[in-house]
């Protein structure tokens, strides 16, 4: 990670939305000094010459602040083609973080989702000033619903639909929990859609901005849905967790919201947290406090419109667990 002392040497840059940059200026930054991009509380410096990544960033990050230069960035990222004959025979892409290569290369056609996965990894591995849970988070009237779920459970499909129907996107993959007050800090970035959910979202959200398909990834076919502009604009507004809901898509199933045990919810949230163990007892108290104050449910759905009605009827609750520190 970069050191802070550099900020003494250069003044902060002029910030415009990325959509205000011309195509040639965007390419110049990405090919040269790097594109500085604010996503939630993080500033990334991204470099790449790969055309589909340049196009993907232009499409999906159009509404994000892009300062012309900054002295400090949280994450220095680049996507590059490996050198050698293989670049011609079987084109691949490398993800670099601070000049290091944390992952094996992927096929070049997966370069755009690789950027998203790499950014998620960068945050989950380094942003220990948050407790980070693998969960989508959405907000309405200042209250957040945390939606943890195993890959393929239908969490992103539900999130994509709800944030285009009355809810605000806080995050699709990483719930950032403040260590001080347990509130959720927004990290509104593109929503990762997989397989059948891509066509479902195309049908139910007319005019949705969705990237080109990346086929044959480890998660099947993947496409990225642009985050709603309103969610990106409100990226500094934190929210209080009020519900923890484990969604599960089941074809043809009736919509069902079932209360679940708070104790097992706490265990499962801990299992879904990337850095719970790092925070020790404070992490336990933080997570236990959130579970205590939230209504906890399992949620089975197959119809998105019904799911929307169920979520619209959610009521917050006040918990009162018995418990203590020794």
Residues that bind other proteins (CB under 8 A): 261-264, 266-267, 270, 276-277, 280-281, 284-285, 288, 291-292, 319, 321-326
Choice between 22 and 180, CB closer to other proteins: 180
CB of 134 to other proteins, least distance (A): 16
Choice between 218 and 263, CB closer to other proteins: 263
What is the β-pairing status of strands 174-178 and 130-140?
antiparallel
Choice between 294 and 307, CB closer to other proteins: 294
- CA dist., res. 246 & res. 299, Å (int): 6
Residue 12 to residues 6, 31, 66, 217: CA-CA distances in angstroms? 11, 21, 12, 38
CB of 105 to other proteins, least distance (A): 34
CB of 146 to other proteins, least distance (A): 17
Residue 112 to residues 48, 120, 154, 190: CA-CA distances in angstroms? 11, 13, 21, 11
Choice between 31 and 264, CB closer to other proteins: 264
Q: Are 153 and 272 spatial neighbours (Cβ–Cβ below 8 Å)?
A: no
Cα–chain center distance at 276: 18
Choice between 3 and 320, CB closer to other proteins: 320
Q: Is 141 left (phi over 0), alpha (psi -120 to 50) or beta?
A: left
CB of 326 to other proteins, least distance (A): 5
Q: Residue 250 — φ and ψ, nearest 5°?
A: -135, 115
Choice between 160 and 177, CB closer to other proteins: 177
The structure tokens listed for 221 are 């076919």
Choice between 223 and 273, CB closer to other proteins: 273
Question: Is 281 buried (19+), middle (13-18) or exposed (0-12) by CB count in 10 A?
Answer: exposed
CB of 175 to other proteins, least distance (A): 18
CB of 262 to other proteins, least distance (A): 4
- CA dist., res. 284 & res. 26, Å (int): 43
What is the β-pairing status of strands 220-225 and 256-259?
unpaired
CB of 1 to other proteins, least distance (A): 25
């Amino acid at each position: 990670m970069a050191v802070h002392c550099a900020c003494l040497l250069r003044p902060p840059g002029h910030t415009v939305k990325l959509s205000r940059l011309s195509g040639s200026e965007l390419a110049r930054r990405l090919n040269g000094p790097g594109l500085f991009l604010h996503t939630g509380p993080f500033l990334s410096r991204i470099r790449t010459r790969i055309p589909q990544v340049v196009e993907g960033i232009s499409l999906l990050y159009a509404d994000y602040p892009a300062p012309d230069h900054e002295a400090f960035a949280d994450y220095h990222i680049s996507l590059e083609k490996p050198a050698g004959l293989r670049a011609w025979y079987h084109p691949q892409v490398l993800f670099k973080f601070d000049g290091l290569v944390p992952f094996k290369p992927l096929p070049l056609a997966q370069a755009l989702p690789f950027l998203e996965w790499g950014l998620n990894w960068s945050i989950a591995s380094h942003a220990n000033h948050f407790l980070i849970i693998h969960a989508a988070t959405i907000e309405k009237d200042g209250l957040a619903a945390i939606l943890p779920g195993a890959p393929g459970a239908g969490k992103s499909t539900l999130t994509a639909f709800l944030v285009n129907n009355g809810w605000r996107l806080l995050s699709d993959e990483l719930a950032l929990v403040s260590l001080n007050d347990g509130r959720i800090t927004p990290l509104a970035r593109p929503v990762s859609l997989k397989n059948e959910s891509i066509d479902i979202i195309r049908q139910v959200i007319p005019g949705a901005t969705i990237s080109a398909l990346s086929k044959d990834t480890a998660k099947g076919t993947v496409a990225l849905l642009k985050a709603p502009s309103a969610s990106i604009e409100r990226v500094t507004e934190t929210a209080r967790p009020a519900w923890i809901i484990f969604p599960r898509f089941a074809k043809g199933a009736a919509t069902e919201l079932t209360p679940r045990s708070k104790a097992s919810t706490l265990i499962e949230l801990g299992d879904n947290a990337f850095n719970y163990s790092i925070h020790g007892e404070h992490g336990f108290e933080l997570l236990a406090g959130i579970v205590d104050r939230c209504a906890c449910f399992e949620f089975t759905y197959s119809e998105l419109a019904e799911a929307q009605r169920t979520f619209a009827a959610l009521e917050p609750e006040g918990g009162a667990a018995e418990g203590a520190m020794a």
